[in-house]
Amino acid sequence: MTDRVDPTSGEPPRGGADKRPTGIPGFDQLSRGGLPAGAATLLLGGPGAGKTVFALQTVVHAAGTGGSPAIFVAFEEAPEAIKANVAGFDWAAGDAAFERVHFLDGRGPLQAATTGNFDLSGLLAQLGELVRRQAAGWIVLDGLDNLLDLLPAETDRRREIYRIAAFVAETGVPALFTGKLRGGDGEASSSYDAMQFAVQAVVRLSGRLTNGVFGRTLRIVKYRGSDHDNIETPFVIDGGGIAVAYHGDGTPRHKLSSDRLPTGVAGLDRVLDGGYQRGYAVLVSGAPGTAKTTLGACFLSAGADRGETGLLVALDETPEQIAANAGGIGLNLRQHIADGRVRTLAMRSASLAPEAFFLALERAVRAHAPSMVVVDPISAVMEQRHQRGPFDAAARLVDFCKARGVTLLTTTLAEGVDEADTRSRVSTLADAWIALSYQVTMGERNRALSVVKARGIGHSNQVRELVIGADGVQLAEVYAGGGEVLMGAARVAQQAQDELDETERALATERRRRDLEQTIAEAQSKRAALDAALQSAERELELTDRADRKRRELDADKAGRIRRRREGGET
């Protein structure tokens, strides 16, 4: 597997001295570019520590990327046995690069009779000839101590070690020597005492059992003339070979975005001012059954509905079961999985070292490049309390996702806010923390949701009821009563009482309205009658006035005619 980018930034590692990349994920970042070019490196470790795998993976990577063949001298096991041992790795049997590794069986001297002093000129002559013939790019001397231990005196061993180192420097071909540590993490074989001084770099591989789980670590003990990180770093060996869980040099580089992804929970987007910010690390904590997994499924399903791609990492539960449960509340997760829009990764946590889990997850993210990752529950692999390993691994995961702009949602089993931090410690790394809990009222449990923190987002601190139904998941409207948020039956009862009171208030208002309207109508009717009487009286008055004026006119006319008659003018 090729991984020449920084695990946090995705950028190439910073160099230093002239180096050859190993292609081992994480190691080239730890060593700032790989192993010394043109010099020897010593790999020390107990039985089964992974020395031979490290060496072979390195030279096969070189053969695959640069095309240079490698020389592998096996002093401990038969070449055929070594090939069989590594046949299960992606880069081994059948791989064209692996075929460019030239194996030499170096066990011959172990079966020979020794009769006095000798040196390793024959080995150097053979290596020189092979380098010349094949233009070899790497030399591996696997278990060289088996040959060195045949030399009778410590001075002879030291002399030959320096001759080999000088040969490597002269040919300019980088070399890997593997050697045993006594009792796993104990002292190196005496043959390697001088070797540690003669070589340019020493890498020590270890393995130990912690809480019943076997974990591996490595450390660059020495790297002459080169910047490197010498912390003890976990690594795993899986189908891809060795992968080192290096967390970077402590300078996280994150892709920031103001884009929002829907939470899939009606009402929660509003609480979070639009949803989860892209590239966010979200922690959902809660007791068993509080709907942590459901929130994860909601996120994946809603995002996939919108065209995003997701990765569902299920621990101790199958993705199929999670998808089936999600289907029961109307989510399309099963279809998204079937379409490949949401990929799945299922693992058992019982025998899983935290780093093995996170490295497997890293590989899946690299392979599928999802924009959303849900880990459910992350607490399953982080139960090793008071140890740095799980926290480092989680920090690495968060940085890894953020560097790629991947929105990460992890769930963690916890009874309360404080415990969530103790169990997973992811809460300190999370941008948003959603706490789920139960609230027991009126003899029933109801799910409650609160946003403990949401960096950079204006959000409500209100505790709300999470309601799960056949048509999905939603946050109930906040219903306060008696100084607290009411949930479940209490909320329903209070809602019913409030609705009844409202109805009665409406009825009373209606009655009052009708009474007043009637009063008004009656008054208006009376007013109309009075208006009519008024108009009639006024009309009568006008007629009376008019009659009076006519009578006066007639009277005046009559008086005139009488006067004129009397005066003789009229007959």
Partner 1 sequence: MNASTERRAQAQVDSLTVFIAGDAPSSRQAMAHLTGVLDSIGIPPERLQVVDVLTDPGAALDAGALVTPSLQIKRGERARWFLGDLTDQRDLLAFLS
Choices 81-89, 119-127, 342-350, 514-522; region in contact with partner 1 by CB under 8 A: 119-127
- Residue closer to partner 1 by CB (options 140, 353) is 140
User: What gap in Å lies between CA 368 and CA 348, rounded to an integer?
Assistant: 21
**Minimal distance in Å, beta carbon 150 to partner 1?**
7
Q: Are 50 and 181 in contact (CB under 8 A)?
A: no
Under the binding rule (CB under 8 A), the answer on residue 130 touching partner 1 is yes
Q: Tell the smallest beta-carbon distance from residue 106 to partner 1 (Å).
A: 6
Rule CB under 8 A: is residue 147 a binding residue for partner 1?
A: yes
Taking CA atoms, 298 is separated from 374, 398, 465, in Å, by 10, 21, 16
Of 104 and 473, CB closest to partner 1: 104
The Cβ-side half-sphere exposure at 492, using a 13 Å CA radius, reads: 7
Q: Please provide the size of the chain in residues.
A: 571
CB of 153 to partner 1, least distance (A): 12
Using the minimum distance from each CB to partner 1, give the nearer residue, 108 or 456: 108
Binding flag, residue 117, partner 1 (CB under 8 A)? yes
Q: Cis peptide leading into 377, omega within 30 of 0?
A: yes
Based on the shown chain and the rule CB under 8 A, indicate whether residue 519 belongs to the binding site for partner 1: no
Tell me which H or E stretch contains 495: helix 488-566
Q: Is residue 122 close enough to count as binding partner 1 by CB under 8 A?
A: yes
Query: Per rule CB under 8 A, is residue 451 in the interface with partner 1?
Result: no
The residue within the footprint of partner 1, chosen from 103, 118, 438, 479 (CB under 8 A), is 118
Out of 68, 85, 126, 134, the only residue in the binding site for partner 1 (CB under 8 A) is 126
Q: Which residues pair with 410 in a beta bridge?
A: 283, 375
Place of tokens 């640069």: 66
Integer angstrom CA distances of residue 462 from 81, 268, 435, 493: 64, 11, 12, 21
Phi-psi region of 49 (alpha: psi -120 to 50; beta: other; left: phi over 0): alpha
Which one of 1, 86, 150, 463 is in contact with partner 1 (CB under 8 A)? 150
Q: Which is nearer to partner 1, 35 or 131 (CB)?
A: 131
Which is nearer to partner 1, 11 or 119 (by Cβ)?
119
Are the beta carbons of 448 and 439 closer than 8 angstroms?
yes
305 phi and psi, to 5 degrees?
-55, -30
Instruction: Identify residue 176 by its one-letter amino acid code.
Output: L
Which residue, 121 or 462, has its beta carbon nearer to partner 1?
A: 121
146 vs 294, beta carbon nearer partner 1: 146
State in angstroms the smallest separation of the CB of 105 from partner 1. Answer: 7
Does the protein bind partner 1 through residue 114 (CB under 8 A)? yes
Q: Which stretch binds partner 1 (CB under 8 A): 117-125, 256-264, 274-282, 396-404?
A: 117-125
Closest CB to partner 1 among residues 108, 330: 108
**Cα dist. 443→197, 449, 487 in Å?**
73, 19, 12
Nearer to partner 1, 129 or 501 (CB): 129
Strand duo 342-347 + 464-469: pairing: unpaired
Least separation, in Å, of the C-beta of 10 and partner 1?
45
Where does residue 94 rank: exposed (0-12), middle (13-18), buried (19+ CB within 10 A)? exposed
Cα-to-chain-centroid distance, residue 517? 66
Minimum separation from the CB atom of position 162 to partner 1 (A): 15
Q: At 27, which amino acid appears?
A: F
Calpha distance 199→59 (Å, rounded): 18
Tokens, residue 409:
């949602």
For partner 1, the closer CB: 144 or 408: 144
Considering the rule CB under 8 A, would residue 258 count as an interface residue with partner 1?
no
Helix ranges restricted to H, 31-78: 51-65
Question: Binders of partner 1 among 94-113, rule CB under 8 A?
Answer: 104-106, 108-109, 111-113
Query: C-alpha 227: how far from its chain's center?
Result: 31
128-159 as b/e: b if 16+ CB within 10 A: eebbeeeebbbbbbbbbbbbbebbeeeebbbe
Looking at the Cβ atoms of 30 and 123, the one nearer to partner 1 is: 123
Alpha-helical runs (H) found in 478-487: none
Among 80, 99, 119, 418, binds partner 1 (CB under 8 A): 119
Position 155 contacts partner 1 (CB under 8 A): no
Which residues make Cβ contacts (< 8 Å) with residue 525, sequence separation at least 6? none
Counting residues that bind partner 1 (by CB under 8 A) gives: 25
How far is C-alpha 36 from the chain's CA centre?
A: 35
Residue of 125, 338, 529, 533 interacting with partner 1 (CB under 8 A)? 125
Q: Which of 94, 116, 288, 482 binds partner 1 (CB under 8 A)?
A: 116
CB of 145 to partner 1, least distance (A): 14
Please report whether residue 120 would count as binding partner 1 according to CB under 8 A: yes
**Shortest distance, CB of residue 20 to partner 1, whole angstroms?**
25
Pair of tokens at residue 4: 């020449």
Using alpha carbons, select from 385, 143, 369, 398 the residue that is nearest to residue 279.
398
From 58-66, 127-135, 269-277, 519-527, span contacting partner 1 (CB under 8 A): 127-135
Q: Which is nearer to partner 1, 112 or 209 (CB)?
A: 112
Among 115, 251, 258, 571, binds partner 1 (CB under 8 A): 115
Q: Does 525 bind partner 1 (CB under 8 A)?
A: no
Instruction: Name the minimum Å distance from CB 159 to partner 1.
Output: 11
Helix/strand/coil for 484:
strand
CB of 87 to partner 1, least distance (A): 25
Q: Which residues of this protein are in contact with partner 1, per CB under 8 A?
A: 104-106, 108-109, 111-123, 125-126, 128-130, 147, 150
